[in-house]
Chains A and B, each alone.
Chain A
Amino acid sequence: MALLSLISRYDWRGWVLPLALLLVWTLSTAFDWVDTRLLASPLAVLSAFSKAALSGELWVDLSASLIRNLNGFALGVLAGLLFGGLLGLSRQAEHWIGPTFHALKQIALFAWIPLLSAWFGFGEPAKVTFIALAVFYPVALNTFEGIRSVRRELYEVAQVLRLSPLQRLRYLVLPSAAPALFTGLHLGLIYAWLATLGAEYFFSAAPGIGNSMIDGREHFHMDQVLYGLMVVGAVGLLLNRLAQSLERRLLRWRDHR
Chain B
Amino acid sequence: MTAAFLSLQRVHKSFALADGPLPVLQDINLNIRQGEFVSIVGGSGCGKSTLLRLLVGLEEASGGSLLLENEPIRGTDLARGIVFQDHRLYPWLTVEDNVLLALANAPLSKAQRHELVQEHLALVGLSGFAKAWPSQLSGGMSQRVAIARGLVNRPKVLLLDEPFGALDALTRAQLQDELARIWLAEGITTVLVTHDVDEAVLLGDRVVVMEPRPGRIRRVVEVNLPHPRRRDQLELVQLRQDILQDFSHSPNTALA
A residues neighboring B (CB under 8 Å):
153-154, 156-157, 159-164, 167, 171-172, 175, 178, 253-254, 256-257
SS class, residues of chain A in contact with chain B: helix
Closest beta carbon of chain B to A90's beta carbon, Å: 21
Closest beta carbon of chain A to B54's beta carbon, Å: 13
Contact yes or no, B88 A159, CB < 8 A? no
Contact yes or no, A161 B102, CB < 8 A? yes
C-alpha gap A7/B59 in the complex (Å): 62
Supposing A171-B101, A256-B133, A257-B135 touch, asked if A160 and B81 sit within 8 A by C-beta, the answer is: yes
Closest beta carbon of chain A to B244's beta carbon, Å: 31
Query: Which chain B residues (34-93) contact chain A, with CB distance < 8 Å?
Result: 56-58, 76-78, 80-82, 84, 86, 88, 90-93
**Contact of B77 (CB < 8 Å), options: A156, A162, A167:** A162
Q: Which residue of B lies closest to A176 (CB)?
A: B92
CB-CB under 8 A from A159, the residues of chain B are: 57-58, 76
Closest beta carbon of chain A to B139's beta carbon, Å: 14
Closest beta carbon of chain B to A8's beta carbon, Å: 35
CB-CB under 8 A from B241, the residues of chain A are: none
Supposing A160-B58, A163-B104, A256-B133 touch, asked if A175 and B92 sit within 8 A by C-beta, the answer is: yes
A156-B58, A160-B82, A161-B78 known; 8 new pairs, CB 8 Å cut-off, are A153-B88, A156-B88, A157-B88, A164-B105, A171-B101, A178-B92, A253-B92, A254-B91
Closest beta carbon of chain B to A44's beta carbon, Å: 53
Contact yes or no, B135 A256, CB < 8 A? yes
C-alpha gap A178/B57 in the complex (Å): 29
Query: Which chain B residues (121-164) contact chain A, with CB distance < 8 Å?
Result: 133, 135-136
Count chain B residues whose beta carbon lies closer than 8 angstroms to a beta carbon of A. Answer: 23
Can you give 10 A-B contacts (C-beta < 8 A)? Answer: A157-B88, A157-B90, A160-B56, A160-B81, A161-B104, A162-B78, A163-B104, A163-B105, A172-B90, A254-B91
Contact yes or no, B104 A154, CB < 8 A? no
Closest beta carbon of chain A to B76's beta carbon, Å: 5
Number of A-B residue pairs at CB separation under 8 A: 56
C-alpha gap A154/B146 in the complex (Å): 12
Contact yes or no, A162 B76, CB < 8 A? yes
Contact yes or no, B104 A160, CB < 8 A? no
C-alpha gap A190/B102 in the complex (Å): 40
CB-CB under 8 A from B133, the residues of chain A are: 253, 256
Contact yes or no, A153 B91, CB < 8 A? no
CB-CB under 8 A from A157, the residues of chain B are: 84, 88, 90, 101
C-alpha gap A157/B101 in the complex (Å): 10
Contact yes or no, A154 B136, CB < 8 A? no
Contact yes or no, A167 B82, CB < 8 A? no
C-alpha gap A257/B91 in the complex (Å): 11
C-alpha gap A5/B118 in the complex (Å): 47
Supposing A160-B81, A160-B82, A256-B133 touch, asked if A175 and B76 sit within 8 A by C-beta, the answer is: no
C-alpha gap A99/B93 in the complex (Å): 35
Closest beta carbon of chain B to A21's beta carbon, Å: 45
CB-CB under 8 A from A163, the residues of chain B are: 101, 104-105
CB-CB under 8 A from A257, the residues of chain B are: 135
Closest beta carbon of chain A to B53's beta carbon, Å: 9
C-alpha gap A174/B210 in the complex (Å): 41
C-alpha gap A172/B92 in the complex (Å): 9
Closest beta carbon of chain A to B30's beta carbon, Å: 21
Contact yes or no, A160 B76, CB < 8 A? yes
CB-CB under 8 A from B77, the residues of chain A are: 162
Contact yes or no, B135 A153, CB < 8 A? no
CB-CB under 8 A from B104, the residues of chain A are: 161, 163, 167, 171
Closest beta carbon of chain B to A94's beta carbon, Å: 23
Q: Which residue of B lies closest to A158 (CB)?
A: B101
C-alpha gap A253/B136 in the complex (Å): 10
C-alpha gap A156/B104 in the complex (Å): 16
Q: Which residue of B lies closest to A253 (CB)?
A: B92
Contact yes or no, B86 A153, CB < 8 A? yes
C-alpha gap A153/B136 in the complex (Å): 20
Closest beta carbon of chain A to B60's beta carbon, Å: 13
CB-CB under 8 A from B136, the residues of chain A are: 256
C-alpha gap A159/B77 in the complex (Å): 8
CB-CB under 8 A from B86, the residues of chain A are: 153
Closest beta carbon of chain B to A12's beta carbon, Å: 37
Contact yes or no, A162 B105, CB < 8 A? yes
Supposing A162-B76, A257-B135 touch, asked if A154 and B90 sit within 8 A by C-beta, the answer is: yes
Contact yes or no, B101 A253, CB < 8 A? no
Closest beta carbon of chain B to A67's beta carbon, Å: 34
C-alpha gap A121/B60 in the complex (Å): 58
Contact yes or no, B90 A161, CB < 8 A? no
